[in-house]
Structure 1
Amino acid sequence: MLASPRGATSTALARLADDGEAEYEFHLRWDPDSSLLTDAPRSVVHFGSIAAFLSPGSAVIDDVLASATRASGTHPRPLISFDPNIRPSIIGSREEALPRFEELARRVDVLKLSDVDANWLYPDLDESAQVDRLLSLGANLVAMTRGGEGAIVATASALASVTSRKVEVKDTIGAGDTFMVSLIHDLNAQENAVSDLSTAELTALGDRASALAAITVSCEGADLPWAADLRN
């Protein structure tokens, strides 16, 4: 999506604890200019976090999704991915946010979230039941990151549990974004339908994403790694 400068700039202040975990303070205005949207073909549409929940800009997200799902044979439907990246201080109560989350989750191919997100959305379900619930909403693939405990990558017919790389954690900012970027990159290159991926293929997706996220948390600052960093 394109952007144009209008009004005050939104800011986010991150404070790091001794273990690298971050707390955030936001001052936000989310009112993108929908006139800048185009119908140009896209291979991927990704959205998430505050943009998906905060009005009035969340309505523009709905327009983007509607446009993506109207893709024709001339413009094939893009891969659509969603990372809710829950920020309760901004999006309101669970009772307010859950219907919006589930509405959006029903419209995507790939849903990625953290175990913290999942526990906030579905506090009465255990991890396995959370994954089942998320898949039942309609996404073809669900990925749940679990910090140092690794990640789960699942479809309706296959599930892979991958471990995290052991590194010294300096800064967790950007870890989830790195995992998401890796998933999008690799899924966009897949020839098979996302829903048809085998356990071995899901494991490879999760291992690569986890390895890149480990590089991110081992460095200070939200500076996402390059694919070549895996070879170093």
Structure 2
Amino acid sequence: MIAVLGECVADAFAEGAGRGELALRVLPGGGPANTAVALGRLGSDTRFLGRISGDVFGRLFLERLAGAGVDVSAVVAAAEPSTLAVASLDDAGRAVYSFHAEGAADFQWSPGELRLELLGGVSCLHTGSLALVKEPGAGEVAGFVADAAPYVTISVDPNVRPSLAGRAAYLARLPGHADILRLSEEDLDFLLPGTSLEAACDGWHEQGVRLVVVTRGPEGALVSLGGERAAVPGVPVEVVDTVGAGDAFTAGLLHRLRDHLGGRLDGLDLGTARAAAAFGAQVAALTCTVAGADLPRHR
């Protein structure tokens, strides 16, 4: 089983304005939740660890997770409101977000809510995005990941949001005991400006990360396993938007690596890692063919 720790976000897309009005279409999102849903739809046993509000958005999140076959038994029922992100799309289908997250349920972790027994039967813990840096809960998340690291494979996707946290906040949490680090080329440019992909990978390997995968949008991805590298080509599709594509890639990667999870990836070879990333690229490409983070179901 793969456990995913992090936030659910109500993605509100602006659909047009007129007569002094702005119409919004709300879809369930949030990087970790997107990854959990994609894993469930791909057929991986998945457990979601999150704090979910009892408001109308929270009910939508739970319905989506459960509908994908995700185990929600570890979800904390929270009194605080859900996180809202108002999004607009640029000409390339990329979303630009305005977050409304102060006091939101996702980030109010308190001592005792995250316990190692929640990882019973789990081989991998994946986390990232706002859960890494949004206080007051980020410290609890970091402590939980550190406690879990001796027992499970740790996967991290920073999915940086510069409007909510600065570079220093992210770098303070990375690599964060990660065995797998998946990030986009845009994330890398923000975190380590002017650093080449190869130099960044080598730096993270020196800090203990076994597998680094840098996604490059339509150009594919770079896979670096302990310093050995391979390229993965992009998958051409008709793009509706790119919302959730990175989360889908991570899900595809972990789904294909599931037989190697549970340790430090010592037995993983570059060919297997590349094949898993290639599958992740296919899952991400399919996600780009629909609106929002509507991740593909296993066929």
TM-score, normalised to structure 2, is 0.68
CA distance in 1, matches of 2:268, 2:227: 9
The answer to whether structure 1 residue 130 and structure 2 residue 200 are counterparts is yes
CA distance in 2, matches of 1:4, 1:187: 31
Return the match for 2:139 from 56, 59, 80.
59
Query: Residues 16, 60 of structure 1: CA spacing in aligned structure 2 closer, same or farther, 3 A cutoff?
Result: same
The answer to whether structure 1 residue 12 and structure 2 residue 85 are counterparts is yes
CA distance in 1, matches of 2:199, 2:148: 30
Instruction: Count residues in correspondence.
Output: 218
How much does 1:64 deviate?
A: 1.5
CA distance in 2, matches of 1:49, 1:149: 23
Aligned to 1:27: 100
CA contact (8 A) 1:216 1:225 kept: yes
Question: Higher strand share goes to which structure?
Answer: 2
The answer to whether structure 1 residue 212 and structure 2 residue 283 are counterparts is yes
The answer to whether structure 1 residue 43 and structure 2 residue 114 are counterparts is no
CA distance in 2, matches of 1:38, 1:212: 32
Return the match for 1:80 from 154, 157, 174.
154
How much does 1:33 deviate?
A: 4.1
Detail structure 1 runs of 4+ shifted over 4 Å in the superposition: none
Greater relative contact order structure (CA < 8 Å, 6+ sep): 2
CA distance in 2, matches of 1:9, 1:98: 23
Instruction: State the AA in 1 paired with 2:288.
Output: V
CA distance in 2, matches of 1:178, 1:35: 30
Return the match for 1:91 from 161, 165, 170.
165
Greater mean alpha carbon deviation, residues 212-221 or residues 60-69? 60-69
CA contact (8 A) 1:3 1:32 kept: no
Question: Higher helix share goes to which structure?
Answer: 1
CA contact (8 A) 2:157 2:181 kept: yes
Return the match for 2:244 from 166, 174, 194.
174
Return the match for 2:216 from 146, 154, 163.
146
Q: RMSD in angstroms over aligned alpha carbons?
A: 1.9
What CA deviation, in whole Å up to 9, does each residue of 1:31-79 have, x standing for no partner? 1244333332222211101110111110121231133135xxxxxx111
Aligned to 1:184: 254
Unaligned runs of 5+ in 1: 71-76
Aligned to 1:73: none
Identical counterparts, % of pairs: 34
TM-score, normalised to structure 1, is 0.87
Unaligned runs of 5+ in 2: 1-48, 50-74
Determine helix, strand or coil for the equivalent of 1:144: strand
CA contact (8 A) 1:49 1:83 kept: yes
Determine helix, strand or coil for the equivalent of 1:91: coil
Map residues 98-137 of structure 1 onto 2, 5 A cutoff: 98-102=170-174, 105-137=175-207
How much does 1:14 deviate?
A: 1.7
